[in-house]
Amino acid sequence: MPTLAEVLFPQSLPNPAALEAQYPPRSLPEGARVTRFAPSPTGFLHLGSLYTAYVNFLTAHSTGGVFFLRIEDTDKKREVAGGVASLLESLAAFGIVPDEGGVAGGAYAPYTQSARREIYQAFAKDLVERGLAYPCFCTEDELTALRDAQETADVPQKGYWGQWARCRDLSAQDAIARVQAGDAWVLRLRADGDAEKRIVFTDEVRGKIEMPENILDTVLLKRDGVPTYHFAHAVDDHLMRTTHVIRSEEWLASVPLHLALMRVCGFRAPKYAHISALMKSEDGAKRKLSKRKDPEAAVSWFSAQGYPADAVLEYLMTLISSAFEDWRRVHPTEPRSAFPFTLKKMSASGALFDAVKLADVSKGVIALVSGADLAQQVRHWAGAHDTALAALLDKHPDRLAQILAIDRDGAKKPRKDIARYGEVLGYVSYFFDELFVPALPLPEGISPADASEILGAYDYDADEDKDAWFARIRALALSLGYAASPKEYKDNPAQWRGHVGAVSSVIRAAITGRSNTPDLWAICRVLGATTVLSRLQKALVSLNT
C-alpha cells in the first residue's frame, strides 16, 4: 500500500540529506555575506530592481562575500523570450556582474528555478511524509466561493486556513483516492501557526519587527508541480547558502510564512533586509514607481536619455546612504565600492525618485570624464539612440573630443554643464557649420549700432595665445569707452558705456550665436581662423543691413 507521499510523488527523487551534502555550507571568511538577485525573466529591468540588485551587490562585495543571480522562472505566463539575456545585459551595463549564476554558473547550480524542479519536489515529498504539507483539490471556483463566504462572514483574516481549509483534514485514503482518480491538486503547507501568538525577527534595515504567526496554508507547489515563490525561496536560499536576503519591502508581510517554511524544512533562516520601494509623486500623492505609467521606471529609459550608468548608480547611492555625498566630496574619484556601506543606514521610508537630483549628480559624474573619453561615450550612445548625431560625429572625427576638452581637460574646476549625452548635440551644435544658426543675442544695454561698432573694430588673430587674445579685446573695449574690467565699471559706472564683458559678449554672439559658452578663445582655436573670420564678417554684415 503506497503512502500519500508516494502517490503524490511517484517518480524517483533525490533525498533532502543528499541535497544538503551536495550543496554544503560555503567556506567563506567570517563576516562574508552571500546575497542574490532573483528576478523573473521578463526582460524588463525596473529602476527599483536595479536598486535592489545594487544593494545586494554592494553587501556581498563589501564583505568579501558572493553575489549570485538566480532566475525565478516559475511562472511561464510572465516569461519573455530572451528575457534572461537582456536582463544580464542591462545589469552588466551598470557593472553589476554576478559572481555566480547567469552565465558564470557555479557550485550551487542550477541557478534557474525551472531546472530545479526535483529539488523542490524532494523537499515537498519529505514535508508530506512528515504530515507538514497536504494536497488540496479545491478548484478555482471553490476558492472564489470561499473568499466570498469570508467576505460576507466578515472574517478579518482572509485566506485558506483553519476551518476554511477544506482539504486540510482530508484523510490520507481519500486524498490518495482522488489523486489516483486523476484529480488535479496543489500542495499546501499545513500551517502550525497561532494567530494569537507573535513572532519576532530583526530586519536588517528596519530593526525589530513583531508579527502574528503564519496561519495560512499557503500553496507550495502549483498544479503543474512548479513551486511558488515562497517555497522556492526557502529551498533555494537555503541550498544556495544565502546569508542575507535583501529584497523589496513588498515581501515583508511574507516573512512569518518564510520563517515557518524554513523551520519545517529544518533550514536555518537567513537574515532579511527589506528595502523600501522607489516612489513617484503624482498630484501630491506618493506612489510606487510604476512600470506602466512612468517611463523612468525602466532602466532603459536612462540609457535612452543618455544618463551614464555611473550617474544612475551614483544617484542610487545617495538614496542608499545619506552619508555618501559627504564621502564623495572627500573622495571625488574613489570607486563606489570603497564607500563604507551598511544596510542599517538605509532609510526605511520610500524615497521619491528625483530627476532633478539625478541630473545634478550626473553633471558631477560627467565633469570628471576627459574630453576624449566623453566624446567616445557620446559617440557610443549616439550609435544606439541618435543616428543623426552619430553621422555628424563620424563626419568630423576628433572634433567632439576637441570641443569637450575645453574647460575640462586639466581644468581645476571642470565644467558641470552636461547631464546627459542627449544634451551634447545642442551643446556643441555651433561648432558645426551645418548646424550653426547665426544669431546675435546682445547683452543688456548694447544696441545693434554698438555691436556693429565693436565688430567693425575687432581683429581676430588666430596666432595669439589666450592672454594676447584677451588683451586685444580689453584694449578694444577701452578704446570704445568700455571699462577694462567689471570692477572698474562698478567703481564708476557713469564714466563707461559698459565693461569688457559687453564687448566679448558681442564677439561671442557673432562667432557662436549664443550668449553663454565655454572659453571663447579655445572655441576659436577649434573652429579655425577661416570660420571665425567668416562668422565675424557675416554678423557685421547682418548688423549693417
Partner RNA sequence: GGCCCGGUGGUCAAGCGGUUAAGACUCCGCCCUUUCACGGCGGCAUCACGGGUUCGAGUCCCGUCCGGGUCACCA
Q: Which of residues 421-460 bind RNA (CB under 7 A)?
A: none
Cβ distance to RNA smaller for residue 385 or 525: 525
Cβ distance to RNA smaller for residue 154 or 434: 154
Nearest 5°: phi and psi at 484? -75, -10
- Judging by beta carbons within 10 Å of its beta carbon (0-12, 13-18, 19+), is residue 263 exposed, middle or buried? middle
Which listed range, 167-175, 238-246, 263-271, 512-520, lies at the site for RNA (CB under 7 A)? 512-520
Are residues 538 and 423 in contact, defined by beta-carbon separation less than 8 angstroms?
Answer: no
331 scored as a contact of RNA (CB under 7 A): no
Cell numbers of 62, please?
A: 563589501
214 scored as a contact of RNA (CB under 7 A): no
CB of 28 to RNA, least distance (A): 26
156 scored as a contact of RNA (CB under 7 A): yes
Question: Which one, of 192, 257, 185, lies nearest residue 221 by Cα?
Answer: 185
CB of 417 to RNA, least distance (A): 4
CB of 33 to RNA, least distance (A): 21
Which listed range, 19-27, 94-102, 479-487, 537-545, lies at the site for RNA (CB under 7 A)? 479-487
Q: d(Cα 164, Cα 48) in Å, to the nearest integer?
A: 37
Which listed range, 6-14, 302-310, 356-364, 537-545, lies at the site for RNA (CB under 7 A)? 356-364
In the 8-state DSSP scheme, what is residue 279? E
Residues in the chain: 545
CB of 507 to RNA, least distance (A): 8
Cis amide linkage into residue 14, ω under 30° from 0: no
Instruction: Figure out which of the listed residues 24, 519, 528, 544 binds RNA, where binding follows CB under 7 A.
Output: 519
305 scored as a contact of RNA (CB under 7 A): no
In the 8-state DSSP scheme, what is residue 494? G
CB of 396 to RNA, least distance (A): 22
Nearest 5°: phi and psi at 220? -100, -45
Four-point Cα dihedral 512, 518, 523, 525, nearest 10: 160
CA angle 301, 303, 306 (to 5 degrees): 110
194 scored as a contact of RNA (CB under 7 A): no
Q: d(Cα 125, Cα 262) in Å, to the nearest integer?
A: 15
Question: Which one, of 323, 351, 362, lies nearest residue 339 by Cα?
Answer: 323
CB of 463 to RNA, least distance (A): 17
CB of 64 to RNA, least distance (A): 25
CB of 384 to RNA, least distance (A): 27
Cβ distance to RNA smaller for residue 228 or 542: 228
Region 256-295 residues binding RNA, contact defined as CB under 7 A: 276-277, 279, 281, 285-288
Q: Between 111 and 150, how does the x/- string for binding to RNA read (CB under 7 A)? A: ---------------------------xxx--x---x---
Q: d(Cα 483, Cα 34) in Å, to the nearest integer?
A: 67
Neighbours of 61 (CB within 10 A): 17
Q: d(Cα 71, Cα 104) in Å, to the nearest integer?
A: 13
Which listed range, 56-64, 104-112, 457-465, 516-524, lies at the site for RNA (CB under 7 A)? 516-524
E strand or H helix that includes residue 499 = strand 498-499
518 scored as a contact of RNA (CB under 7 A): yes
Nearest 5°: phi and psi at 172? -60, -40
Which listed range, 127-135, 306-314, 368-376, 517-525, lies at the site for RNA (CB under 7 A)? 517-525
476 scored as a contact of RNA (CB under 7 A): no
Region 51-90 residues binding RNA, contact defined as CB under 7 A: 72, 74-75, 78
Q: d(Cα 231, Cα 132) in Å, to the nearest integer?
A: 13
Residue 66 bridge partners (DSSP): 34
184 scored as a contact of RNA (CB under 7 A): yes
Neighbours of 452 (CB within 10 A): 18
E strand or H helix that includes residue 4 = helix 4-8
242 scored as a contact of RNA (CB under 7 A): no
300 scored as a contact of RNA (CB under 7 A): no
Instruction: Figure out which of the listed residues 345, 380, 395, 538 binds RNA, where binding follows CB under 7 A.
Output: 345
Which listed range, 33-41, 235-243, 389-397, 420-428, lies at the site for RNA (CB under 7 A)? 33-41
Instruction: Figure out which of the listed residues 35, 254, 377, 402 binds RNA, where binding follows CB under 7 A.
Output: 254
**Residue for grid cell 549664443:** 514
Instruction: Figure out which of the listed residues 3, 157, 495, 544 binds RNA, where binding follows CB under 7 A.
Output: 157
CB of 422 to RNA, least distance (A): 17
Nearest 5°: phi and psi at 275? -95, 145
Instruction: Figure out which of the listed residues 15, 173, 322, 544 binds RNA, where binding follows CB under 7 A.
Output: 322
CB of 483 to RNA, least distance (A): 9
Residue 219: what residue type? V
48 scored as a contact of RNA (CB under 7 A): no
415 scored as a contact of RNA (CB under 7 A): yes
**Residue for grid cell 544669431:** 439
CB of 481 to RNA, least distance (A): 16
Neighbours of 461 (CB within 10 A): 9
